[in-house]
Structure 1
Amino acid sequence: MLSYDRIVRAGNEIKGKIHRTPLFHSTTFSNMFSCDVYFKMENFQKTGSFKSRGAMVKFSTLTAEQKKNGVITASAGNHAQGVAFAASYYGVDAKIVMPETTPPAKVNAVQSYGGTVILKGNSYDEAHEYAVQVSVDEKREFIEAYNDEDVIAGQGTIGLEILEDVKPDIVIVPIGGGGLISGISFAIKSKNKDIKIIGVESEKANAMELSIKEGKIVPYTSNDTIADGIAVKYPGNITFELVKKYVDGVVTVSDENIAYALFKLLEREKVLVEPSGAAGLAALFENKIDVKGKKVVIVLSGGNVNFLLLSNIIYRALEMENKLLRLEFNLPDHPGIMEKIVNAISSSGANIYHAEVDNLNKDTPIGYQYLLFTINILDKSRIDELLGSLDKLGYKYRIIG
């Protein structure tokens, strides 16, 4: 059974094997939300996420026979890396089943920790089903991602560390399968029942929220979220019961605000997190949690972001803040016209990030040229200044998003 003493033992079991991550106070976000904001930096953890905690604790419980037979798990992300890292530390052979659609960067990360990757199926569920069968056939120990009390105890060590560093009023935690928030809430509530624990899910992957409302485990309706680290089909039966008992509320946030929170962390604090790691801050941007005047800890659960996605997030966030503008022109193909456009852009203090000229565009009339400018600009007032200059020139343009 999970107990406070078990979490304390878990802390001793992983001491010196992984990082004790810092708790960082943010003046920027404290001022923004009229509260004291602290970030628990699990994006600085070994393997780039909290998952290595639970994996290391689980491996510490394996018998000699289990270690000899090896382990297996299914994952497309952070759990895979956590298991591979722990297996390498303990000298255990590990097979990691990942969907065939897994990005090469994630496969390479698992392999770099010594895990043997098996690509199977088109989804996590198909990979999981295959991994379970292999575990039976080869007598390998299956390592659960979240629905395991040893794993939960490992994640609960984050709660112990938070209490050692600060006395919070609210702790905000991303929720996927529920292992992270189960461990943290159990550890914290065991010492102080007055501290509020709030979970955050993507509104596109809200299995825990739906399950709490229905009083039984139900699946989410979509997995089309950028926060793949918290996109699970079902919460675990163990984590569901713990969340019901120890978590004070579950809220959902949009992918747009998850992306924006990720961008603001990078812009203002120079901290890089993955989308699921930014979910807690997104809840503050959406005003889903009353934090005014409170001492708030937000768990940044991981930092393993897809860099192609990151570039898209930065681009979209700059558009949201009126710092990036795309202008499309169909101009008469006469000498000097493009120079006038470029001069108008420069006069507004903007920088041309990208320019495209396509005289072969099928929608461009004969005798005209198609131009597309992507512009980095200071703010909306400068945009208005630029558009006014373009209007005076008399050339037609279109703002595209």
Structure 2
Amino acid sequence: MFDLSELERAHRIVGTAVPPTPTHAWPLLAERLGTSVVVKHENHTPIGAFKVRGGLVYLERLKRERPDVPGIISATRGNHGQSLAFAAGRHGVPAVIYVPRSNSVEKNRAMRAFGAELVEHGDDFQAAREEAERRAQFAGLHMVPSFHPDLVLGVATYALELFRATADLDTLYVPIGQGSGICGCIMARDLLGLKTEIVGVQSTEAPSYALSFASGKIVTTETSNTRADGMATRIPDPEALALIRKGASRIVQVTDDEVADAIRAYWTDTHNLAEGAGAAALAAALQEKARLAGKRVGLILSGGNIDFDLFRSWIGTEAAPAAQRAVA
């Protein structure tokens, strides 16, 4: 997709709006996992998620190559749309974002606040994306896909920061939605000549990439009913799947309850708020705790955009007994 010089240039583009995010070793997380662990805090960006990097790189090229582009359009469950709205606003490009009905209220508000026209359509991400593609053709807008080499190039800049700060990671856990994050990690690792094992994470309620990884071909699912909306994908991207199958060691599936336990663990152990997909890497590491003894582990906290009502109902006080079991 790209070489190291292109990745470093992308990092400079991202750096005009996003300072390098922290990489922290949290002792309480180390106690919980029983091994050395570092967290890459992509919840500390201007949109609260790693996706902002991809939007900045994508819009920079689009505006450079098509200075008269009339506007962009895309579909999202939230963070991709915030990324595009944020980047489009910096370049003076109108942005139309489609989301499924019953999408995160707070993510919808954030996209509007960044200047996007927000349209609610369909019951899931796939339905919203298909409608966005139809409107793009009708209205002459530039359709931004959920997976694209420039998006991967942009988000790979967080992996560049991580690996240059901690080049000795044995295993890195990365959540998978449409695949840009894990593909960026694979590319950065390979370009830097490192041997870190990269493990993808999906929800048991939206396991399309995990099923496709195991079968060697695209496998779709009829539903994606996980509360971890950043991983709610029914149809994998073929290019992403090919890179993941080549560069990842495996994909771990985690339940919504395991994700909820991980959100609580992040809050109690680091006082960081993680959204569902953001906590998935920790959930997978906890599931595989026995195999991690003596290893140096990296976790991608990919975002912190969780609605307050979901936070309260999913991992609030009524879930305290599960939290206590996780600590025990």
Q: Which has the higher strand share?
A: 1
CA distance in 2, matches of 1:221, 1:99: 15
For residue 259 of structure 1, what is the amino acid of its counterpart? A
2:189 touches 2:195 (CA, 8 Å); kept in 1? no
Q: Deviations over 1:162-202 (max 9, x none)?
A: 12211211111111111100011111122234211111111
Identity of matched residues, %: 30
* 1:105 lines up with 2:95 in the alignment: no
Map of 1:224 onto structure 2? 225
1:288 Cα shift? 6.0
Map of 1:166 onto structure 2? 166
2:265 touches 2:323 (CA, 8 Å); kept in 1? no
1:120 Cα shift? 2.4
CA distance in 2, matches of 1:185, 1:225: 25
Map of 1:262 onto structure 2? 263
Distance 1:187 1:321, change over 3 A: closer
1:66 touches 1:141 (CA, 8 Å); kept in 2? no
Map of 1:293 onto structure 2? 294
Within 5 Å, give how 1:141-160 maps onto structure 2.
141-145=142-146, 147-160=147-160
What is the TM-score with the length of structure 1 in the denominator?
Answer: 0.77
Map of 2:320 onto structure 1? 318
Highest RCO, 1 vs 2 (Cα 8 Å, sep ≥ 6): 2
1:283 touches 1:289 (CA, 8 Å); kept in 2? no
Map of 1:247 onto structure 2? 248
Within 5 Å, give how 1:245-394 maps onto structure 2.
245-287=246-288, 290-312=291-313, 313-321=315-323
1:263 touches 1:317 (CA, 8 Å); kept in 2? no
Map of 1:210 onto structure 2? 211
1:251 Cα shift? 0.9
1:66 touches 1:140 (CA, 8 Å); kept in 2? no
1:121 Cα shift? 2.6
Report the aligned-residue RMSD. 2.0
CA distance in 2, matches of 1:55, 1:289: 38
CA distance in 2, matches of 1:287, 1:241: 25
CA distance in 2, matches of 1:27, 1:221: 41
CA distance in 1, matches of 2:152, 2:68: 20
Map of 2:91 onto structure 1? 90
1:39 touches 1:297 (CA, 8 Å); kept in 2? yes
Structure 1 unpaired stretches of 5+: 324-378, 381-401
1:258 touches 1:275 (CA, 8 Å); kept in 2? yes
Distance 1:289 1:300, change over 3 A: farther
1:54 Cα shift? 0.4
Larger Rg: 1
CA distance in 2, matches of 1:294, 1:322: 25
Map of 1:327 onto structure 2? none
